């Protein structure tokens, strides 16, 4: 795997532009399966996960044309309705093709996405929704087969506000007969962006961003041009990079409202936070103060920012308590941060982080996307050199991270595998 060689200790200063949202792009690309004619999506980030979703769509028979941050998807030629193990294991979010395939073709077969480093990642709520809409589901030999006459609208209550289940059910309901209501729906901004994309296609969806989403089935859809929202997690990661290095960074192309839970915590830690229409600036004037964090579904504190905040808390004054309520195994970065001198004690879903004066460079390994980002942040602040292995995990969700941070003065070198 590729590696980063990072020499820390230098405050990051300057301006950085955020790319389009990975977690808005992936469901929107899958939604292109609902309608044959070409759809054009702009602001698409150059990420490995986007490459994987494009590979899945091509494998199904769609024609993909990419130029810069524009992706054109023509799913007229889709005939294959099955996604095998290799692709599903490469990226769990490939399961987002389920809803559109069943919605349009009445049938789909996907290999189980399997767990990943942060948790078991079940799909029971995705399947609960499809079953409620009349689908027959068979789970055998590591595959999920879903068949349905035309789906029928239903009332579906999600036990937990699952982002993926909300998105899959929304997409399946677009062409169903009648009205579908999703209760306890995920309220993430990426769900709202998907609603906006689908409504541009001719769907009739209301309520995304609240916990009740109503989808009135329609007969026809049409081509769409859409620009995805900026990536709030990438933006948050860069703001923590400014904070942890004692720097002063302005992040542009953001929707500040989407960052509110993160900005509130950074202010609580004593950082200077300035907010514009489409930018946010964070400056560190003194050592950050410890803070307690509990991850929750949006608009609570995002789990995807928990590892990055743990790295910042490792250097804060005082003891921070971090509680992870979304995934059962998302403290993997703690062990690697301890190798850099952090004082972190994990007890079940809680991490007790006793701030230290400084971190020292070490050789560390990224185990997943956000844990990897946390290690980069810690390395930018640590004394002397750090080698971060497993950079491919980071490439899944961050576009040219080494170039973006080098622009801010970071001493970061990418060494290919
Ligand atoms: C989405 O994953 C994001 N991925 C994740 O971002 C993010 O961490 C997560 O939402 C939570 O915000 C994309 O949008 C592509 P969930 P998703 O279904 O949809 C349980 C990143 O780093 N659950 O909302 O898979 C599940 O076990 C990634 O960019 C069920 O019990 O997450 C978890 O505890 C990581 N049954 C909780 O819900 C189900 O059927 C939240 O999962 C589905 C989920």
Average pLDDT over residues 135-156: 95
Do 297 and 154 reside in the same domain of the chain? no
Do 305 and 380 reside in the same domain of the chain? yes
Residue identifier of the C-alpha nearest atom 18 of ligand 1: 162
Residue identifier of the C-alpha nearest atom 4 of ligand 1: 23
Do 173 and 62 reside in the same domain of the chain? yes
SS3 state of residue 43:
coil
pLDDT digits (tens, 9 = 90+) for 75-121: 999 999 999 999 999 999 999 999 999 999 999 999 998 656 788 88
pLDDT digits (tens, 9 = 90+) for 222-242: 999 999 999 999 999 999 999
Residue 129 pLDDT level (bands cut at 50, 70, 90)? very high
Average pLDDT over residues 247-263: 98
Do 243 and 157 reside in the same domain of the chain? no
pLDDT digits (tens, 9 = 90+) for 48-71: 999 999 999 999 999 999 999 999
- Domain extent for 140: 22-227
Does the Cβ of 210 fall within 6 Å of ligand 1?
no
Q: Which of 204, 227, 250 is the last residue of a domain?
A: 227
Do 95 and 143 reside in the same domain of the chain? yes
Does the Cβ of 327 fall within 6 Å of ligand 1?
yes
Q: Is the confidence at residue 417, as pLDDT, over 80?
A: yes
**Long-range own/partner contacts, residues 219-222 (CB < 8 A, 24 or more apart):** 219/175, 221/34, 221/35, 221/174, 221/175, 222/35, 222/37
Q: Is the confidence at residue 1, as pLDDT, over 90?
A: no
Do 182 and 236 reside in the same domain of the chain? no
Q: How far is the CA of 164 from the centre of ligand 1 (A)?
A: 6
Average pLDDT over residues 17-27: 98
Do 66 and 128 reside in the same domain of the chain? yes
Do 258 and 299 reside in the same domain of the chain? yes
Does the Cβ of 23 fall within 6 Å of ligand 1?
yes
Q: Could you give the number of structural domains in the chain? A: 2
Q: Which atom of ligand 1 is nearest to the CA of 328?
A: 34
Select from 160, 301, 374 the residue to mutate for testing ligand 1; criterion: most ligand atoms less than 8 Å from CB. 160
pLDDT digits (tens, 9 = 90+) for 316-365: 999 999 999 999 999 999 999 999 999 999 999 999 999 999 999 999 99
Does the Cβ of 98 fall within 6 Å of ligand 1?
no
What average pLDDT does the structure give for the chain? 96
Q: How far is the CA of 162 from the centre of ligand 1 (A)?
A: 6
pLDDT for res 114: 65
Q: What is the CATH number of the domain that holds 367?
A: 3.65.10.10
Do 87 and 13 reside in the same domain of the chain? no
Handedness of CA 347, 348, 352, 356 (dihedral sign): positive
Select from 132, 137, 163, 167 the residue to mutate for testing ligand 1; criterion: most ligand atoms less than 8 Å from CB. 163
* Structure tokens given for 67: 């130029």
pLDDT for res 18: 97
pLDDT for res 115: 59
pLDDT digits (tens, 9 = 90+) for 370-387: 999 999 999 999 999 999
SS3 state of residue 4:
strand
Q: Which of 227, 244, 275 is the last residue of a domain?
A: 227
Does the Cβ of 124 fall within 6 Å of ligand 1?
yes
* Structure tokens given for 144: 């999920």
Does the Cβ of 370 fall within 6 Å of ligand 1?
yes
Instruction: Report how far residue 385's alpha carbon sits from residue 411's, in angstroms, rounded to the nearest whole number.
Output: 10
Do 195 and 242 reside in the same domain of the chain? no
Q: Which of 227, 250, 266 is the last residue of a domain?
A: 227
What distances in angstroms separate CA 390 from CA 4, 286, 330, 395, one per listed residue?
9, 32, 17, 9
- Bridge partners (DSSP) listed for residue 114: none
b/e per residue, 84-101, with b = 16+ CB within 10 A?
eeebbebbbbbbbbbbbb
Determine what percent of the chain is predicted with pLDDT higher than 90. 96
Annotated catalytic residues are 116
Do 201 and 333 reside in the same domain of the chain? no
Does the Cβ of 415 fall within 6 Å of ligand 1?
no
pLDDT for res 384: 92
* Structure tokens given for 391: 């950079």
Does the Cβ of 160 fall within 6 Å of ligand 1?
yes
Instruction: Report how far residue 24's alpha carbon sits from residue 314's, in angstroms, rounded to the nearest whole number.
Output: 31
Do 63 and 33 reside in the same domain of the chain? yes
Q: Which atom of ligand 1 is nearest to the CA of 298?
A: 12
Q: Which atom of ligand 1 is nearest to the CA of 118?
A: 35
């Amino acid at each position: 795997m590729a590696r980063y060689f990072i020499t820390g200790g230098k405050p990051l200063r300057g301006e950085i532009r955020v790319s389009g949202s990975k977690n808005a792009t992936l469901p929107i690309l899958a939604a292109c399966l609902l309608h044959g004619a070409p759809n054009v999506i702009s602001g698409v980030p150059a990420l490995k996960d986007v490459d994987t979703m494009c590979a899945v769509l091509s494998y199904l028979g769609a024609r993909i044309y990419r130029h810069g941050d524009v992706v054109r998807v023509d799913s007229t030629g889709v005939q294959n309705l099955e996604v095998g193990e290799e692709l599903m294991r490469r990226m769990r979010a490939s399961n987002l093709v389920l809803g559109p395939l069943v919605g349009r073709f009445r049938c789909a077969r996907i290999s189980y996405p399997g767990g990943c480093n942060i948790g078991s990642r079940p799909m029971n709520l995705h399947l609960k929704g499809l079953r409620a809409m009349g689908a027959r589901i068979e789970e055998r030999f590591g595959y999920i087969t879903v068949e349905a006459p035309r789906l029928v609208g239903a009332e579906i209550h999600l036990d937990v506000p699952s982002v993926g289940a909300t998105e899959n059910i929304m997409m399946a309901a677009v062409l169903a007969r009648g009205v579908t209501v999703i209760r306890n729906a995920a309220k993430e901004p990426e769900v709202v962006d998907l609603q906006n994309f689908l409504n541009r296609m001719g769907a009739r969806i209301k309520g995304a961003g609240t916990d009740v989403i109503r989808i009135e089935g329609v007969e026809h859809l049409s081509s769409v041009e859409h620009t995805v929202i900026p990536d709030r997690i990438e933006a948050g990661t860069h703001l923590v990079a400014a904070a942890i290095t004692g720097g002063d960074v302005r992040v542009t192309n953001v929707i500040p409202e989407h960052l509110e839970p993160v900005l509130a915590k950074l202010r609580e830690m004593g950082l200077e936070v300035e907010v514009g229409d489409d930018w946010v600036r964070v400056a560190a004037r003194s050592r950050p103060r410890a803070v307690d964090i509990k991850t929750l579904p949006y608009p609570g504190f995002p789990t995807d920012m928990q590892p990055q905040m743990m790295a910042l808390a490792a250097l804060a004054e005082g003891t921070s308590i971090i509680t992870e309520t979304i995934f059962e195994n998302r403290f993997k970065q703690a062990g690697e941060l301890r190798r850099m001198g952090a004082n972190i004690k994990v007890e079940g879903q809680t991490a007790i982080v006793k701030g230290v004066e400084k971190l020292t460079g070490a050789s560390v390994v990224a185990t997943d996307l956000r844990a990897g980002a946390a290690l980069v942040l810690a390395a930018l602040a640590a004394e002397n050199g750090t080698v971060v292995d497993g950079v491919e995990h980071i490439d899944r969700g961050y576009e040219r991270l080494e170039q973006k941070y080098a622009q801010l003065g970071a001493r970061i070198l990418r060494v290919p595998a």
